[in-house]
A and B are shown apart, each in its own frame.
Chain A
């Protein structure tokens, strides 16, 4: 068996008294598209941030290409992060830089590419997410939420990283544009051979982009399996979630 690209072993993370991740274990293979689903506030974004080392889990081990990343030295971590591209849930565009500079940031700062070349490349990536060259010269504050999301997506894939994390890539997009983005993610995995981990609430998108899915509930991955099997999961929680029913074992904390 090849070494998994990303390996999580018994990862725990809590904030004060509140336990968010309570023993997450998963293997993600190279060139696989892995999707994490789960209710709002269950710790999906936190999981990605732990892998990136932006948050430090209290317990457990996270390996990228067989290399332990929890408690990694700063310099090793910088090198490790060169493999990654991340689309943040809230876009996190640099508002002091123009749109094209945002997209080209990883190329100019990380890869030391010439500014002129980086600009061309940024414009190309922008066109892939359905934004024209005129958008490149705007400022992030001048864009709509959905446009910001697409710019952030272009930024995440601009350096053609080995591993790409998409935190809710299609949230806030119209259905047609959402499908364009789905195709783009599939293309990144199929053509560029990237490993993708995505978070989404959009089951249509999840089915389309994923090879395997996992469901996070109460700090644990309660179900992991191939996408084709999600309908036959034989798990009441998964069943309730993918069909979006209010009735079922997952009780929202609402007072009736």
Chain B
């Protein structure tokens, strides 16, 4: 009996979480679309999300590209298909690894920061103070972050794609001895616009998820420093899980015809 009760409780908790998150999303999105829009705040968040995440995302991308070239080379050598290495690197990078890895890294960096900042504002009553100063917290805190996440993640991922492919090129030409011209040629030859575009759309969705969950968890945090810590953890974990889930769904939508 206890087991059933526990399962029921978890399930109800999950439904409650989903319901609350849905309502929050609705309100937040409606505030993104209605004026006033705080351009200064959006710009500040764009800087925070886009510019200051570049080192992390760049490093992730270059090593991913490098290891991808190395792995596919050793793998493909078994049935002498080494010629496909460049193509594999560029397609995996743009379709999957660029958006997913950048998304996960940014979730750790930005999602956590958002949850901590808004959470601290919540527990020190700064969010309440905003309301009493006739400023809607959704408009002032949540909307700029969501808009910035939506816009900046694709930019980051584009940079990650380029750096990642370049990392593959470095390993391919210097270590594995491919001809640079042939490598570049075969990178381009099989690359379709949809590969890049689907990755960028994914990135936008991930940016939305990261900001949304960062804000949601911060906004609903309770009970002092401990509550803020919990909110930060929840923001990163739930954003990461949702990124991976939605990545599968989006991939199925784009390529499963």
Closest residue to B38 on the A side, CB-wise? A109
Chain A's closest residue to B27 (CB) is A74
Q: Quick one: which of B125, B132, B140 contacts A81, CB cutoff 8 A?
A: B132
Binding site of A, secondary structure by majority: helix, strand, loop or mixed?
Answer: mixed
Of A84-92, A197-205, A218-226, the stretch lying at the interface with chain B is: A84-92
Contacts A90-B124, A109-B140: A82 and B129 contacting too (C-beta < 8 A)? Answer: no
Q: Is A106 an interface residue (CB 8 A)?
A: yes
CB of A54 within 8 A of CB of B128, answer yes
Residues of B within 8 A of A95 (CB): 126
The interface bits of chain B over 128-139 (1 if a CB of A lies within 8 angstroms of the residue's CB, else 0) are 111111111000
> Which of B111-150 touch A at CB < 8 Å?
117, 121, 124-126, 128-136, 140
Complexed CA–CA distance, A94 and B135 (Å): 13
Q: Interface of chain B, helix or strand or loop or mixed?
A: helix
| Chain A residues positioned under 8 Å from B117 (CB to CB) | 96
> Which A residues are CB-close (under 8 A) to B140?
109
Bound-state Cα–Cα, A174 to B135, Å: 33
Give the distance in Å from the alpha carbon of A78 to the alpha carbon of B126 in the complex. 16
Query: Is A105 located at the chain interface by the 8 A CB criterion?
Result: yes
Contacts of B130 in A (CB 8 A): 94
**Closest residue of A by beta carbon distance from B136:** A78
> Residues of B contacting A109 with CB < 8 Å?
133-135, 140
Tell yes or no: A93 within 8 A of B by CB. yes
Cβ distance A103 to chain B, nearest Cβ, rounded Å: 11
> How far, in angstroms, from A105 to B137 measured CA to CA in the complex?
13
In the assembled complex, A49 has its CB within 8 A of some CB on chain B: yes
B131 touches A54 (CB 8 A): yes
- The distance in angstroms between the C-alpha atoms of A81 and B124, with both chains bound, is 20
Measured CB to CB, the closest approach of chain B to A233, in angstroms, equals 32
Measured between beta carbons, the chain A residues less than 8 angstroms from B128 are: 49, 52, 54, 88, 92
Contact B125 A85 (CB under 8 A): no
Q: In the docked arrangement, what's the CA distance between A82 and B131, Å?
A: 9
Q: A248 in the interface, Cβ–Cβ < 8 Å?
A: no
* Choice from B126, B131, B132 contacting A94 with Cβ under 8 Å: B126
- A110 touches B (CB below 8 Å): yes
Given the known A-B contacts A90-B124, A92-B124, are A110 and B129 also in contact in the complex, defined by CB atoms under 8 Å?
A: no
Q: Please measure, in the bound complex, the distance between the C-alpha atom of A88 and the C-alpha atom of B126, giving whole angstroms.
A: 9
CB distance from B113 to the nearest CB of A (A): 12
Q: Min CB distance, B221 to chain A, in Å? A: 15
Q: Is the CB of A106 within 8 A of B134?
A: yes
Q: B19 to chain A: closest CB distance in Å?
A: 18
Chain A residues with Cβ under 8 A from B126's Cβ?
Answer: 92-95
**Distance of A105 Cα from B133 Cα, bound (Å):** 7
Q: Do B125 and A88 touch across chains, with their CB atoms under 8 A apart?
A: yes
Least CB distance, A166 to chain B, in whole angstroms: 12
Kindly name the residue among A78, A81, A109, A155 whose own CB sees the greatest number of chain B CB atoms within 10 A: A109
Q: Are B134 and A81 in contact (CB under 8 A)?
A: yes
A201-235, CB under 8 A of B: which get 1 and which 0? 00000000000000000000000000000000000
> Could you name 16 residue pairs across A and B whose Cβ atoms are closer than 8 Å?
A52-B131, A52-B132, A53-B131, A74-B136, A78-B134, A81-B134, A85-B132, A86-B129, A90-B124, A92-B126, A92-B129, A93-B126, A94-B130, A109-B133, A109-B134, A110-B134
Minimum-distance CB pairs A-B, first 6 = A110-B134, A92-B125, A92-B129, A86-B132, A106-B133, A109-B135
